[in-house]
Structure 1
Amino acid sequence: MKYTAGQAAKAAGVSKATITRALQTGKISGTKDDNGAWSIDPAELHRVFPPVAHEPPETHSVKQSATPEKPNETGVLERENQMLREALIEARQERDRWHQIAERLSIAPPAPAPIPQKPAGGFWSRLFRKSGGA
């Protein structure tokens, strides 16, 4: 597997600019593809730049700062994480309950339409209807 300039820089523990400068001056050999990216054989790279045996100090210090400073802080964070998980489960159950109610309401048969009532009319129209009309 060949390195790109960035991968070679990480493998050697130097900057990408150092690798490209070494390629341009002929200190190490490599080929450029059509896109302009370098391809460097690992053996050629490590002939000039020794491989890095451990992580760079910057990466190591970042990993340390990501962990809790105090031992009891881990327990607090784990309890908070568990409480949040339980709250999420409850919220999902509540959502599902409301979803079921909405589905039942959407498939319920529509209420029957009220039967329209004829207006009673005035005195003479009621009288006329009762007498059988003329």
Structure 2
Amino acid sequence: MKYTAGQAAKAVGVSKATITRALQNGKISGSKDDSGAWNIDPAELHRVFPAVAHEPPAPHTMKQSAPPDKPNETETLELENQMLREALSEARQERDRWHQIAERLSLAPPTAAPNLSVSGRGFWSRLLGKAN
């Protein structure tokens, strides 16, 4: 069974935009069906993104939760981790782009430099027109 972009995002705990960006950048492969929806093989998805561990349903007991104004520390760290991964990915793309530019410039033919050589005569002899 293949994932859609939304199902893939839920399976690995990232946003749908992250999945579609990975597809467009070639990090993961997938194909589009006739309706334009992505079809992603689970093995291909989990090659790049680890699966999210799903917790078994908890018994109906009351749990003490964090206050609503203070987010769960684990969720905060996971969000920060995801943002850092995306920033790293963007930095790598930028690095690769600059590397390609540098390669093109290093392979370009050198431009002719102006001839800056001096005849070997001193200033006063050139000024007064004296020959060596």
TM-score in terms of structure 2 length = 0.42
Answer 1 or 2: which has greater helix percent. Answer: 1
> Which has the larger Rg?
1
Q: So what's the TM-score if we normalise by structure 1?
A: 0.41
